[in-house]
Amino acid sequence: MQVNDTMTTRILVVEDEDDLRHSISDILEIEGYHTMGACNGREALECLHEQERPELILLDLLMPEMDGWTFRERQRACADFATIPLVVFTGVTLSDDDRDTLAPVEILEKPVLMDDLLDMVASQVEGA
Amino acid sequence: MTNGNQQSLESLSSAKGRDDVDVGDGPPAPERSEAAGLEAITARSRQVVDLAGEYYLLYRLDTRDHPAQLCIEAYYHADPEQLRRWRCAGGPPELVSPALLEQTLACSRSMTVGPVEPPSDRVASSTWGRSAAVLAPLTTSHGDPIGVLVVGGERESGGDRSRLLALVETLADDLAVRLENAELREQLQTMRTQLERTIDLQDHVTSVVTHELRSPLSTIQLLAQLLRREAPHADDPNQTAASENILTRADSLERQVRRMSSLIDRLSEVAKLSSSHLELQPRDVDLVALVEDVLETYRDSDTVSDVHLEAPNAVRGEWDPNYLERAVSNLVDNAVAYGEDRPIVITLDSNDNHCDVYIRDHGHGLPEDEHDRLFERFECGGHANSEEGLGVGLWVSRRIVEAFGGSLTMTSISGEGTECHMRLPRRVS
């Protein structure tokens, strides 16, 4: 993907590990994406309400204050944000129930490879 | 007591151990007695009382207190008015002295108390009559005292007291068995509950730990790749050495991440296989193709130089392919790890009922006294040329194969190598 194509693409990265969130954001920013960071579901909801609408959400599941499942429930309950595609980014093995509940467009299992991350983001943004 | 009563006593005595005695309206026994499944035996106690006495008291030794104390477990009085008064008072008054109860318990011998002479050598004093009572100890199968049964009252017996004494003793024996069984059931339930809690906790801890480990690994992985990406360009002659150093270190970082990731996967797998029933999803599988797929990954990675597969064109059966692949991979992993880079031979055979897979390496072999141990979790043999194992491969494979209804065995000859034999029924039972 060319930088020009990605400059306007905003991605919300929701991850409680600061280093990991920054690493993902750095990689995406180098590729030309614009990123927003949140360290839990509550902050992520605030981002959605207070900042520009992202085109994609990268979501960790196990987080303090508000976990990924609760965030997803709240996000889908809000008409303005319900359709933003979600990529689950987790070290947890998801059950079938989790997959049904979260309905992600993609699941990335930790530890993730940079190429896999970028390919996935590119395919989601291109397909949007 | 009348002859008719004596006959009834005999029939009661012959009903020992049966649960078909009519409980009637139920005794005023505490709820604990009902929960312990003592209804039938306490009903028989009431019948004895109705025939020969006025009340019974069942004392149980409560070992939760120190020192252990005798507490009323159940009671009954033939006179409804008297029974009502006992109920209103929260239980019967002290009809037998604690000293006598403790003496019965300590001596593990029956006794009667009352105003007349003893009818047998088992009786400490007096006979059945006004204020008489029979005290019989309750002991476990190991001889430990657990309670006392008292049958007493003011009724003139006039009959065969030794027969009555024997009947009360029989009742006491039955009660003891039932109380002991109830206690064992309670202990079993407690242990089961604790075990379930432990397993739940283990699952939770494993889930949290593996998640917590995967996040920092992700960070390291991504940073290593960023490092590689941002390394000085190798074409720049002034930066060649620096670039090579950075790339070499990035390679090392990524290699360690892969290793740790593999260990975490293994730990998660062990936790999953340890704690839960395997949910198999059997479908039609060609075992030969599955084994070839497994071997292909080894050939691609250059870790195996010489593998021979001796198999018919196809061996079909109904298995869960994901678990089966895992079981086969683990065995090939072991053959690679212990095979000293010598040829590995895999042989498949089958008949109408089952399939056999033999995986043979030509390494040092394993001492026979280690074979059983190696099927346990976190056990490794000597001579492995890999440091990455957790020592769970054989255990995982056996767990999977047994879930399929099959078996996994190992034979090994020192200096000649090791052969694992996996036998799978054609269909998961």
Q: Which residue of B has its CA nearest to A108?
A: B218
Q: Nearest by CB to B268, from A60, A93, A112: name it.
A: A93
Q: Is the dihedral of CA B423, B424, B426, B427 positive or negative?
A: positive
Find the angle CA(B358)-CA(B269)-CA(B303) to the nearest 5 degrees: 50
Cα distances from A45 to residues A26, A38, A48, A54, A76, in angstroms, run 22, 9, 5, 12, 11
Q: Is the CB of B216 less than 8 angstroms away from the CB of A112? A: no
Domain span at residue A29 reads: 3-127
Please check whether residue A102 is in contact with residue A77, taking contact to mean a CB–CB distance below 8 angstroms.
no
pLDDT, residue A29, reads: 92
Domain parsing of chain B, residue ranges: 3-190, 196-275, 283-425
Q: Which residue of B has its CA nearest to A17?
A: B215
Please check whether residue B311 is in contact with residue B359, taking contact to mean a CB–CB distance below 8 angstroms.
no
The DSSP result for B54-85, as a single string, is SEEEEEEEETTSSS-EEEEEEEEESSHHHHHH
A-interface mutation test, from B204, B219, B228, B272, most A Cβ less than 10 A away? B219
**pLDDT per residue as tens, chain B (429 positions):** 333 333 343 444 443 333 333 333 334 444 344 444 556 666 777 777 776 678 888 898 887 777 788 888 888 888 889 889 989 998 888 888 888 898 898 888 888 886 444 344 433 333 344 457 889 999 988 888 889 998 887 555 555 667 778 888 888 888 888 888 888 898 999 999 998 888 778 777 777 777 778 888 889 999 998 888 887 776 666 677 777 888 888 888 888 888 888 888 888 788 778 766 777 889 999 999 999 998 887 776 666 668 889 999 899 999 999 899 999 999 998 888 888 888 899 999 999 899 999 999 988 888 777 777 777 776 666 655 554 566 788 888 999 999 999 999 999 888 889 999 999 999 876
Q: What share of chain B is helix, strand, coil (3-state, %, to 5)?
A: 50, 20, 35
Q: Is the CB of A114 less than 8 angstroms away from the CB of B220? A: no
Query: What CATH number does the domain containing A26 carry?
Result: 3.40.50.2300
Cα distances from A6 to residues A28, A34, B404, in angstroms, run 9, 8, 50
Put simply, whether B220 touches A (Cβ < 8 Å) is yes
The amino acid occupying position A33 is Y
Q: Which residue of B has its CA nearest to A24?
A: B222
pLDDT, residue A41, reads: 96
The hierarchical CATH code for the domain B3-190 is: 3.30.450.40
Fold observed for domain B283-425: Heat Shock Protein 90 (3.30.565)
How close B256 comes to chain A (CA, Å)? 12
Q: Is the CB of A90 less than 8 angstroms away from the CB of B211? A: yes
Which helix (H) or strand (E) covers residue B206, if one does? helix B161-230
How many Å separate Cα A118 from the centre of its chain?
Answer: 12
Number of domains in chain A: 1
Strands (E), B316-406: 316-319, 344-350, 354-360
Residue A7: pLDDT above 80? no
Put simply, whether B210 touches A (Cβ < 8 Å) is yes
Q: Which residues of chain B from 258 to 277 reach within 8 Å of chain A, CB to CB?
A: 261, 268
Question: Which residue has 């260990």 as its token pair?
Answer: B263
